[in-house]
Structure formats: structure tokens, C-alpha cells
A and B are shown apart, each in its own frame.
Chain A
Amino acid sequence: MIAPRTLRFSWLATVSLAVTMLVVTTSAQAVQYQARADFLRETLGSEKPPSAVVWMNDELRQIATEVLGHKPVTLRTRYWYNETRTVWILDEIGKEKPITLGIVIEGQAIKLLRVLEFRESRGWEISYPFFADQFEGIGLHRSGKLSGRIDGISGATLSVNAATRSARFALILDQYATRNTKARASAP
């Protein structure tokens, strides 16, 4: 038979652990995995690489609304670039708070996707390489959707969806950026 003192301790330990887990899991402290300047330095070799913007014209705004599920918040989106790649830093809402994602695109395919800052209390598993690595090499299908399948994470569906939407949007923006660059280069 278990001694009463042991039983009381067990209950106390169980309750304490439950409360701690509750506090930890429900407290929504933002976690910054990497500063933007560091991400730009790592992916483009410079803390202040050249940047340009893609303006939301009517066509792009419509596409953005369809892809993101909401109207784009800003009238333009900035990106950074070198000769071979573009780098996008996008904020997309998971459940309630924005997730900051850094996306590198090279040759119209994703070279790297990384969570730079995560602000929600759950779904942070998307910051792990096992999830983010799935995006490497993925481009846009003719239909406008991602060319590859992304496996979800149980309990992190909203974060997974936010990352997937951002990836798709970054690829579309990259196409527009490339188109604009070519137009500028060929202009008399």
C-alpha cells in the first residue's frame, strides 16, 4: 500500500507539473530564431544587400488574396537580391499572431525556407529542419500551386498552412520581380 505522504506528494507533483505545462504552453512569448540582418548576411553575403520592391497591382492583389486567403496588408513587398537569387522576408498569421519567414528563391525554386520569428504558443515545430527542408527545390506548378507535397505536423496545422501560403506567395512574387527586372533591363 502506498504511504499517504507519498500519495500527497504524487498529487502535488502532478498538479505542479500540469500547471507548469499549462503556463509554458499557453504563454505566447515571441521567439526570434534569427535576426533579419543575420539572415540576409547568411543568404546574400551582406548585411545590407541591394533591395527592390514589387508593387501590388490589381492582378497581383487578386492573386495574393487568393493565395493568402486575405487581402495583402501592404501596397508593396520588399525583397533583397544578388545575381542568382532573391530573398523574401514575409509575415503571415498562423492562428492569431504573425510568423516571420525568410525564403530564398533561386532558379524559380525555393532554395531555403526558415522561420525567423515565431510568436504563438503552439505550432513552433515548423521551425525544425525536418519541416522546413521539405520546401527545398519546390517551385510553382502550372496550376499556381506548389510543385511538391508538404507533409503537415499534427497539432501545427495553422502554422504549416501559413508557411505553405508564404512559400507559394514568395514564388509568385519572385516571378513578378524577375519579370520587372527583365523589363527594366530591356527598356531603351
Chain B
Amino acid sequence: MRRATPKPAPARRSHWTRRFHRLVGVASLVFLVLIAISGLLLNHADDLGLGNRRAASPLLLKVYGIESPPIVSSFSASGLTFASTPSALYANGRELLVTTAPLRGAVAGPGSVIVATAEEILVTTPDGMLIERFDPDISGPLLQLGASPSHFVLRTSASTYALDAEGMTVSELIRDDGDVAWSLPSDPSDEQVERIALAAIGSSLSWERVLADLHSGRILPSVGRYLADITALCLLYLSVTGAIMWFRLQRNGALDSPRQRSKAPKRAAGTGHARTRR
């Protein structure tokens, strides 16, 4: 007589379901918590201003591979050091203006500092606050800024102009003003370079972006996406097995209240299931 292969008892299946459910739950706990918290914060990113908050943590910047931009040019005037990177202009290590135009000079004015980029003239306070910016409407990009005894001087490849810093007007100089002290480049100090680096790289990364990358797993470029996928599958598994276990418990009356249990028909002892004839 052939012996039928015994089928696993429902209790054993239930046991393994619960066991795996617990295992998967514990294994994915950390990732689920990270995803939940980052999701909650992202949902309220505007209210929390996360898009405007800069993440300047050295660890994060290292993770993202963000390096300090090169200093293209630097000039000093009135105790201020102006330096330009490919995307911004800094005064004593503090971002003054977002601009791609290279710096051309800085000279001291009466109670202010005149700064020239290839495209415009800036006037700052002696402590580096931007008072005004002015597009001089001259032919060609600015090459140099200087000062003569009577006025500031701008030089392009085509001509030389006198700048009236009060009225912000320029007039072409017919003859070359030989008495001009041209602004010359200077090297920023190490402290300045470090401050600019922190300001520059810190401004390129917001907390909203960090959270979005954490939420999607992209914060770890090579494996993060797959970890996020696995976490999603774990969550799916937990949902399904959780539903199955609930259904089983519901069917067995384990979720019934004591009053409901006292009215229900007695079930077979041992298995917790009603015996069925085969």
C-alpha cells in the first residue's frame, strides 16, 4: 500500500509564516524607519524650509563627492578680499553675488568699495555688503578696473571709460588717462580659501535633496537603489503575511472577545482547527 506524502499541517504553515514575518520585520526595521521618517519630513519640506537649508556637513559633502570650486581670481581693496569661483563672487569668504562673470578688479571708493566683473560694476559697503549693481552698457567685456585722481576707470579691449560711482554713469575717455592705478590680482589667504570653500560647497546641497536621496536609496549610489527595492519588497511581504495571519486568527476566533468565544461552538483540541473528514 502506497503511503501518501503527508501534507504539512496548517499549524506548521502558520508557525513558519509568523517566524518569517518576524524575521523580515526585524531585518528591515532600520530601513523602514529611515524611509518613514524621511517620507514624513519630505511631505512637509516646504513648511520646514528644507529646500533652503544648506547641508554643509563635511561627511555629507564627502558622500556626495562635492569638492570646493576653484578660485578663478581674487582682488583686495579696503581690507576686503573679493574672490570669484565659476559660479559666484565672494567678499571675505561670504557669498556676495551669484554670477558666472569673472572678477576684474576692486578699488576703494569714498565710503564704499567699487568692484568690477566682466559684465557689471558693484558697489559694496566697507564690510562687504552689496549696495548696488550696475550694468555699464559699454562695448565689450570689462578687462580692468582702476582709479585715477579724478575718477574710476574701466578698460575694455576697445576703449577706456570714466566711471562716476555716485550717479552710476560712464563716459568714454577720448585719450588714455596715464595716471591710473590699475587694480591688480592678489592671492587670498588660506583662511579665505577655506571659508569660500565651505560657503560654496555648502550652498550646493539642501537638506531636501539629502532626504529625497535617503528616501529613494540614492544616497548610496551603487547599492542604495537595491536596498530601497529590497525594503519595499519586505514591506510588501509584511503586509501580505500580516493580512494572512490576521485572517487565520480571525477564522480561528483568536480575535474574538471573551463573550463571542463563549457563544462559539467548541473547536477540536490540539490543532486549533475544526476537524474535517477526508
Contacts and interface: CB of A to CB of B under 8 A. Distances in A.
Contact of A76 (B132, B137, B167, B169): B132
B130 interface: yes
Contact of B137 (A36, A53, A74, A77): A36
A38 to B, nearest CB: 8
B195 interface: no
B169 A78 contact: no
B29 interface: no
A75 B129 contact: yes
Nearest to A36: B137
A91 B132 CA distance: 12
A57 to B, nearest CB: 14
Interface residues of B, number: 13
A68 B13 CA distance: 64
Interface residues of A, number: 14
A92 to B, nearest CB: 13
A78 B132 CA distance: 8
B168 A51 contact: yes
A74 B168 contact: no
Contact of B130 (A35, A51, A73): A73
Contacts of A74: 130-133
A37 interface: yes
B134 interface: yes
Interface in B111-131: 125, 129-131
B194 interface: no
Contact of A48 (B130, B134, B169): B169
A66 B155 CA distance: 39
B158 to A, nearest CB: 15
A77 B134 CA distance: 10
Nearest to A73: B130
A76 B124 CA distance: 11
B137 A73 contact: no
A26 B134 CA distance: 28
A36 B169 CA distance: 11
Contacts of A77: 132
Interface in A109-139: none
B97 A73 contact: yes
Interface string B145-169: 0000000000000000000000111
Contact of B132 (A35, A36, A75, A100): A75
Interface of B: 97, 125, 129-135, 137, 167-169
25 contacts: A36-B135, A36-B137, A37-B137, A48-B167, A48-B169, A51-B167, A53-B132, A73-B97, A73-B130, A73-B133, A74-B130, A74-B131, A74-B132, A74-B133, A75-B125, A75-B129, A75-B130, A75-B131, A75-B132, A76-B131, A77-B132, A78-B132, A78-B134, A91-B133, A100-B135
